[in-house]
Amino acid sequence: MFNHQFVNEFSQNFIEQVNRVLSFDSYLVYSIDNINHAYDYQGFNISNKSLTEYLNYKVENDPVSFKKYFNEKDHCVELLSQHCCDEDYDDFMQRWKVQDTAEIFFRKRNGEPALGLSIVREGDSALFNEQEKTVLEAFCELSKRYFFTQTDSLEITDVYRSFQFTKKETLVLELILQGFSNQAISVHLNCSLATVKTHVQHIFQKTNLNSRQEIMIKFLK
């Protein structure tokens, strides 16, 4: 699960960069768990009533929802105006004066979307065009490295949790992965060499591994 502060900082920085070259009226940020679940929707200059209606009744009708592009691993930007909406969704857009949306998917290294951003134009604004789509794709490409750093951190945390490492074992494992010897770890953590060896032995037992080399292979990308 994303840190709320990271989501806010990342999305706001992205929006600020986009807003220098493209006009829009509002935007929506959300995190994605899997193909069936997104959460933590945050609307900016979006009516709470329209967001509630969308989430409760209209998200399945949205032709550019994250569910429809979840498995398209290299896809990061889609424009609503390039799709046909059904009657219900078209009515929803007209009532809330939505002219067009650019749906942006920020993906993990494995291609799964982890964060979504909907940039909205309202009223009589122009539709997003292909040139603007290309600009948004360029911004996505530039943001990849920073975004990957966060998702990599989340994934390795989940891996550690799955082995039920204690806090001390996690610290020792992190130092092993940085190339520290047992003696160096004892100095760094201000504990005895025997204590470090005990932590290392527990790590081997929990992972069913037998050497530092195997640890490196398993946990380093």
3-state class of 32 per DSSP?
strand
CATH architecture for segment(s) 4-148:
2-Layer Sandwich (3.30)
Average pLDDT score, the chain: 92
**pLDDT recorded at residue 53:** 96
CA distances from 181 to 37, 118, 176, 193 (A): 43, 48, 7, 10
Cα distance between residue 24 and residue 121, in whole Å = 5
**Over residues 141-164, mean pLDDT:** 83
- pLDDT at position 131 over 90: yes
Class of 161-219 in CATH = mainly alpha
CB 132 within 8 A of CB 102: yes
pTM over 0.85: no
> Residues 198-211: what's their mean pLDDT?
94
Contact 202, 176 (CB under 8 A): no
Looking at residue 177, its pLDDT comes to: 87
Parse the chain into domains and list their residue ranges.
4-148, 161-219
**Chain-centre distance of CA 140, in angstroms?**
12
Task: Provide mean pLDDT across the span 159-168.
Answer: 87
> Fold match between 4-148 and 161-219?
no
Q: How confident is residue 221, by pLDDT bands cut at 50, 70 and 90?
A: low
Question: How many CA atoms, within 13 angstroms, populate the side-chain half-sphere of residue 88?
Answer: 9
In which band, very low, low, confident or very high, does the pLDDT at 3 lie, cut at 50, 70 and 90? confident
Query: How many helices and strands (H and E) does the chain possess?
Result: 9, 5
